[in-house]
Amino acid sequence: MACRELGGRDRGGETVPLHQLNVPDPGVLPFAMGSFDTIGPLSRADFPHRHTFHELVYVTAGSGAHVIDLAAWPLRPPQLCLVAPGRVHHWERTGELDGRVVLFDDDFLLNHPEDREALRRLAARPVLRPTGDAARAIGALLAEMDREYQAAAPGFISVLQAYLHVLLVRAGRLAEDAPGPGTPGGSERGASVAARFAELLARPEGAARTVRDCAALLGVSVGRLQEAVKEATGTTPGRMIRKAQVLEAKRLLAGTALTVGQVARQTGFGDPAYFCRFFRRETGSSPGDFRRTVRGNHHDRVLVSIDPADPPA
């Protein structure tokens, strides 16, 4: 089995289950790949969960939907899916699901550190649908990766890292042709600070941090953080934190049995009443109404999307 569940209670309970990459040899950089069957049942989990690692899935057959942060993406193989660490996802009403699954964490990117930025950009477009030559090329590349992984010949780790780099480059090209929100540019140094800030917010505990907390963790001043984020993204750290708080609150309201007060505390609000006002201001709905709407739509094909700028269609 390539991944295992950590820290979750019952799957309708008080936490969103967290899956950790579990490789058989601790001396091997954290990486695993295979089919849905060889990776194990958690690779097709039908309950909301999140990972500590990156997951790339190339679906070649199957029906149903892949739900990523409450947006249901109907399966239309071939389909390349990216699930970043911290994002909540599950598979819904799938049938005859087939394809290849690639699991890895940031340590596996040491030979190609630029791949971390590529993954950050791809997270804005988590589902890609290659066609024609592009689909065949991705399928062939993954088949070569799988052969290299299974053979484990001398030097196979560096070969897998190179293959993964090529895969991410090709996925990036597909994403450039796909409609979706753009990311304004900025200086290289400012973009690096902004990217590390975004990584902090993407973690489950990120929503509870303040701008000052984040600046301290990044080793920069509050003013420098504000400048870098504004330059790279066109928005402010405070606005990004508020967006992260809303996102994590929606994840918890949709995927757990936590009370509104508990959700408030986990997203950085000491006063549940203030959290409710904040949530209504940001979303137009109360926490309770949002939870009822999402759970009422649980069996519908199209779910409530957390990010309207990232639609399933």
Counting Cα atoms < 13 Å in the Cβ hemisphere of 37 gives 3
- The token duo for 16 is 């969103």
pTM to 2 decimal places:
0.62
- In this predicted structure, what is the pLDDT of residue 300? 40
- Rg of the chain, C-alpha, whole Å: 19
How far apart are alpha carbons 136 and 171 in whole angstroms? Answer: 13
- In this predicted structure, what is the pLDDT of residue 21? 56
Nearest residue to 284 via CA among 259, 251, 250, 241? 250
- In this predicted structure, what is the pLDDT of residue 136? 95
Query: What SS3 state is found at 69?
Result: coil
How far apart are alpha carbons 18 and 195 in whole angstroms? Answer: 23
How far apart are alpha carbons 116 and 153 in whole angstroms? Answer: 26
**Contact between residue 34 and residue 100 where contact means Cβ atoms under 8 Å apart:** yes
- In this predicted structure, what is the pLDDT of residue 128? 93
Kindly compute the dihedral angle of the four CA atoms of residues 84, 87, 90, 91, in this order, to the nearest 10 degrees: -40
- In this predicted structure, what is the pLDDT of residue 302? 35
Specify the residue for token string 């699954």. 101
Collect all residues with Cβ–Cβ distance below 8 Å to 247 and sequence separation of at least 6: 69, 207, 306, 307
**Contact between residue 87 and residue 130 where contact means Cβ atoms under 8 Å apart:** no
How far apart are alpha carbons 291 and 250 in whole angstroms? Answer: 8
How far apart are alpha carbons 219 and 241 in whole angstroms? Answer: 18
Phi, psi of 225 (to 5 degrees): -65, -45
Running along the chain, 313 residues long, what does each successive block of 10 average in pLDDT? Answer: 46 56 54 90 85 91 87 90 86 91 88 85 86 94 95 92 95 76 44 76 79 90 88 81 88 88 92 94 92 66 36 40
β-pairing, 89-104 vs 71-74, is: unpaired
**Contact between residue 311 and residue 71 where contact means Cβ atoms under 8 Å apart:** yes
Mark out the alpha helices in the chain (DSSP H runs).
36-39, 114-122, 132-151, 156-177, 188-202, 211-218, 222-233, 237-255, 260-266, 272-283, 287-296
- In this predicted structure, what is the pLDDT of residue 30? 80
Q: Which residues is 61 bridged to in the sheet?
A: 98
- Please provide the DSSP assignment of 93-127 as one string: EEEEEEEEEEEE-GGGGTT-THHHHHHHHHTTS-E
Collect all residues with Cβ–Cβ distance below 8 Å to 274 and sequence separation of at least 6: 264
CA atoms 160, 163, 164, 165: torsion sign = positive
Query: Letter for the amino acid at 133?
Result: D
- In this predicted structure, what is the pLDDT of residue 88? 83
- In this predicted structure, what is the pLDDT of residue 269? 93
- In this predicted structure, what is the pLDDT of residue 294? 78
Query: Letter for the amino acid at 119?
Result: L
Phi, psi of 240 (to 5 degrees): -65, -35
